[in-house]
Amino acid sequence: MSGTHVGSPIAARVRHVEALLEHRGLLDDGEIDRRIDEFLAGGSPANGARVTARAWVDPGFAERLLADANGAIRELGLSMSGGLQEQRLKVVANTEAEHNVVVCTLCSCYPIALLGPSPGWYKSEAYRSRVVRDPRGVLREFGLQLPGTTRISVWDASAESRYMVLPRRPAGTERLGEEELAGLVTRKGLIGTAAV
């Protein structure tokens, strides 16, 4: 019941359905809570950083990641299922001509498995509403000044679909190994509110 107030009518209905499923033997006692805990424990920005670093050093992986992100991340032992229904992941690549940024305008849908728990600003109404209307201004507030010729694409996550940005590989990193490259990647870079 993460994100639901325990005393709310919705929480009571959720708990009732959970109890019915447990009573009928379709779920073990506490199974939903255990799976949510496991999912949250495994989620980390380090996962998204690993995916990014692999894409930077392996063009074939990068191609598969952009075509079928769910399939590609399985190659690294990662998943968007979290033990429950798998969410569709789309990875969008930053280029010299285009910069991508992710938002969820309705709530705070976010690829927890790859980025860890979402930051407070991502959930804020100010970010959710303003980044769609004025992405360049919002990115400037994050300290990211993009050239006027760079197109900005805003990707709106939903309950079924999540997005992750594949940042541009920084210049001068040709000699770095995959692990060192992963150390350069930040959660803000994976959301698109910062460059790497």
Catalytic residue annotation: 104, 107-109
End-to-end CA distance of the chain: 35
Regarding beta strands 98-103 and 151-156, do their DSSP bridges make them parallel or antiparallel, or are they unpaired?
parallel
Answer yes or no: are the C-beta atoms of 180 and 129 closer than 8 Å: no
3-class SS letters over 146-167: CCCCCEEEEEECCCCEEEEEEC
Please give the structure tokens belonging to residue 15.
């708990």
CB-count exposure of residue 100 (10 Å: 0-12, 13-18, 19+): buried
- Please tell me the distance from the alpha carbon of residue 147 to that of residue 159, in angstroms, as a whole number: 33
